[in-house]
Amino acid sequence: MIAKLKGLIDSTGEDWVVIDVNGVGYLVFCSGKTLSKLPGMGQAASLLIETHVREDHIHLYGFADAPERDWFKILTTVQGVGAKVGLAILSALSSDEIVHAIAAQDAKTLTRANGVGPKVANRIVTELKDKAGGLALSSESSEATGTGSSSVSTFGGTLTEAASALVNLGYGRSDALSAVSKANKKLGGNGDLQTLIREALAELSVL
């Protein structure tokens, strides 16, 4: 099972890259975001790999970082979301945008991705609600709480209370979650409820 590739960029396409590893070219399918982070032809690159083995093929899917890879694995557990649709979602939305959409049950945001219609979007927010509804996927939250590269951290306790308070003030749940996440980062993960709400309101004022 291939988990990582490190080699030279041989060629690229709309949704793929060929990485030359000691003379062997590996075709790797990637999101637009990962492709945009790759260096030029002939330069060294490294990708995390998710290997899909089927009866008729072996496909490699590459990711620039662990959070994107983890979300690919989560999204493709949803019925009707194959690898192609998973990459399309990751091309259109950031990890934060995905988790906020799921937490807020905002299916419309997910339809920004090619190939994701209302039915599939609704299925995603419904099936992943238990996995992500009470969680925040955010490098900001990870950095603030010292959880390192872990892509999923608990969005609970004081953070949930702060978000709920903002919703009660009339803000949308998705905006509230985003503002609280950013405020939590600024406070180093140590703010009390009132301070967190005050900082989150400041974040909302600049939106």
User: What is the pLDDT at residue 64?
Assistant: 95
What does the alpha-carbon distance between residue 159 and residue 190 come to, in Å, rounded to a whole number? 11
Residue 173: is its pLDDT beyond 80?
A: no
Residue 141 in contact with residue 154, Cβ under 8 Å? no
What's the angle, vertex CA 196, arms to CA 195 and CA 199, rounded to 5? Answer: 85
Q: How confident is the model at residue 183 (pLDDT cuts 50, 70, 90)?
A: confident
Residue 169 in contact with residue 200, Cβ under 8 Å? no
User: What is the pLDDT at residue 131?
Assistant: 66
pLDDT tens by residue, 65-103: 988 998 999 999 999 999 999 999 999 998 878 877 887
Q: Go through the domains of the chain in sequence order and give each one's CATH number.
A: 4-64 (2.40.50.140), 67-133 (1.10.150.20), 156-207 (1.10.8)
Ramachandran angles phi, psi of 48, nearest 5°: -75, 140
3-state DSSP of the chain = CCCEEEEEEEEECCCEEEEEECCEEEEEEECHHHHHHCCCCCCEEEEEEEEEECCCCEEEEEECCHHHHHHHHHHCCCCCCCHHHHHHHHHHCCHHHHHHHHHCCCHHHHCCCCCCCHHHHHHHHHHCHHHHCCEECCHHHHHHHCCCCCCCEECCCHHHHHHHHHHHCCCCHHHHHHHHHHHHHHCCCCCCHHHHHHHHHHHHHCC
Q: What is the pTM of this model?
A: 0.70
Ramachandran angles phi, psi of 42, nearest 5°: 80, -5
Choose the weakest-confidence range: 26-30, 93-97, 113-117: 93-97
What does the alpha-carbon distance between residue 62 and residue 60 come to, in Å, rounded to a whole number? 7
Q: How far is C-alpha 169 from the geometric centre of its chain's CA atoms?
A: 28
Q: How confident is the model at residue 150 (pLDDT cuts 50, 70, 90)?
A: very low
The mean pLDDT of 169-178, rounded to a whole number, is 81
Looking at residue 123, its amino acid is R
